[in-house]
Amino acid sequence: MTHHEQREIRYAYEFERRVKACFIGAGGHAYRNVYPALRYAPVELIGICDLDLSRAQKFARLFGAERAYTDHRAMLEREKPELVFLVTSYNPDGRVQATDLALDALAAGAHVWMEKPTAASLAEIEALRAASAKAGRLVMTGLKKTFFPTIEKLKDLIGSPEFGRLTSLNVRYPQSLPPPRDRSDLVKMQSFLDHIYHPGAILHFLGGPMERASYEWEATTGAAVTNVRFKSGAIGSLHFASGQSGSSIFERVEIIGEGSNAIVDNGSRLTWYRKAALPSYGRAASFIQPDDKAALLFEPEHSLGQLYNNNLFYLGYVQEILHLTDAILDGKPFTKGTLEAAYEIMKLFEFFRSAEAGVTVTL
Ligand SMILES: NC(=O)c1ccc[n+]([C@@H]2O[C@H](COP(=O)([O-])OP(=O)(O)OC[C@H]3O[C@@H](n4cnc5c(N)ncnc54)[C@H](O)[C@@H]3O)[C@@H](O)[C@H]2O)c1
């Protein structure tokens, strides 16, 4: 099944069976984008925990949870949830708070849905893998970019007869790589770690595992351009466009196949250039291609009060939760935001922490 043939969305109260869930973290991102997404998921929120009790209580009232806590262990013990959501932040040493919380949730027998970053090192991802296997419970990281309808469409194009196999790709995303002297310091790398999960998720989702990489770095802005060779034989570039304007679109993704290419601009506008010949060089008076070879444009209308033109959907926030609840409730395939995907992104993070500019490294 391709992504665009997916089922219709149901509202939370329409599900007969809902997963009993607790939520750790009552912060900004959770308020804006994760709790509101639960309106469209088979989730029954029973407990909310935050270090700030009054915020946990206010969130519980707003989002319909029964009880509020400040101690997540007490919550796990009392509520015995099937699923725990983690949307927390960083420890003072730069480690990811959710990594340890995920281990606690697994030990309490719950599945875990966590925000990115999953962890701050490969070793921590391995510990999560072992704990997940031991508990027989799933751990999913919300790699929202892999749920953008546009990025899913790119994935569907790859390997189709009309597009061919992926031969090269380009991901442009504004983030800044700190100077070499700061890269061993997790606190100074926090913002880089926080963001690398986004372009890293797209690279891995579309290109698969990487074989080797090298990068060049610009000292004024921390911009970097990275060359990647994937194990499939495809090649790619990752452009950290730090230094761009705050009024600019953030990202652009382009995939190139065999005689066809497609571009996603600004997350929600996809242009697919279908296979077509170049009009006769030096002679053609018109650039108009036959209709069956013309480019196709996909972009949402912004007039109707629909789901697809709401950021909960075009940024994949609802779909990334349904991916896990589908696996838990219906045994559907669990393929995105896996610890294997997080491991590949973490490899990229460790590459930027340790590799010198201009040197090719096997990943
Ligand atoms: N995917 C996205 O689009 C996106 C966007 C923004 C942020 N994020 C991610 O979301 C996460 C949260 O970001 P934020 O900006 O909302 O952070 P935040 O600091 O506003 O919220 C974190 C909350 O977690 C709570 N917390 C931390 N440790 C806790 C514990 N042990 N028990 C209970 N509560 C605890 C804090 O009290 C705080 O309220 C980060 O991982 C960030 O990377 C993702």
Give residue limits of the domains in the chain.
12-142+319-335, 146-305+344-362
Residue 173 near residue 73, CB atoms below 8 Å: no
Distance (Å, rounded) from C-alpha 185 to C-alpha 181?
A: 8
**Token pair of 28, please?**
């900004």
What number does the ligand 1 atom closest to the CA of 33 have?
3
Calculate how far, in angstroms, residue 96's C-alpha sits from the geometric centre of ligand 1.
10
- Using a 6 Å cutoff on CB, does residue 100 contact ligand 1? no
Pocket test for ligand 1, best of 23, 29, 79, 141 (most atoms within 8 A of CB): 29
Kindly report the length of the chain.
Answer: 363
Which residue is closest in CA terms to ligand 1's atom 21? 27
Distance (Å, rounded) from C-alpha 165 to C-alpha 186?
A: 38
- Options 3.40.50.720, 1.10.10.60, 3.40.640.10, 3.50.50.60; CATH of 12-142+319-335: 3.40.50.720
Which residue is closest in CA terms to ligand 1's atom 5? 29
What number does the ligand 1 atom closest to the CA of 114 have?
41
Q: Going by DSSP bridges, is the β-strand pair 210-217/168-173 parallel, antiparallel, or unpaired?
A: unpaired
Residue 155 near residue 1, CB atoms below 8 Å: no
- Using a 6 Å cutoff on CB, does residue 34 contact ligand 1? no
Model pLDDT, residue 7? 75
Distance (Å, rounded) from C-alpha 339 to C-alpha 127?
A: 10
What would the CATH number be for the domain defined by 146-305+344-362?
3.30.360.10
What number does the ligand 1 atom closest to the CA of 29 have?
16
On the question of a cis peptide bond just before residue 42, with omega within 30 degrees of 0, the verdict is: no
- Using a 6 Å cutoff on CB, does residue 50 contact ligand 1? yes
Q: Is the pTM of this model over 0.85?
A: yes
Model pLDDT, residue 285? 96
Calculate how far, in angstroms, residue 116's C-alpha sits from the geometric centre of ligand 1.
10
67 CB neighbour count, 10 Å cutoff = 15
- Using a 6 Å cutoff on CB, does residue 27 contact ligand 1? yes
| 148, 91, 132, 146: CA torsion to nearest 10 | 10
Calculate how far, in angstroms, residue 323's C-alpha sits from the geometric centre of ligand 1.
21
Nearest CA among 139, 50, 73, 77 for reference residue 65: 50
Which residue is closest in CA terms to ligand 1's atom 20? 27
Calculate how far, in angstroms, residue 329's C-alpha sits from the geometric centre of ligand 1.
27
- Using a 6 Å cutoff on CB, does residue 28 contact ligand 1? yes
pLDDT in tens, the chain (363 residues): 566 666 799 999 999 999 999 999 999 999 999 999 999 999 999 999 999 999 999 999 999 999 999 999 999 999 999 999 999 999 999 999 999 999 999 999 999 999 999 999 999 999 999 999 999 999 999 999 999 999 999 999 999 999 999 999 999 999 999 999 999 999 999 999 999 999 999 999 999 999 999 999 999 999 999 999 999 999 999 999 999 999 999 999 999 999 999 999 999 999 999 999 999 999 999 999 999 999 999 999 999 999 999 999 999 999 999 999 999 999 999 999 999 999 999 999 999 999 999 999 999
Pocket test for ligand 1, best of 71, 79, 85, 88 (most atoms within 8 A of CB): 88
- Using a 6 Å cutoff on CB, does residue 91 contact ligand 1? no
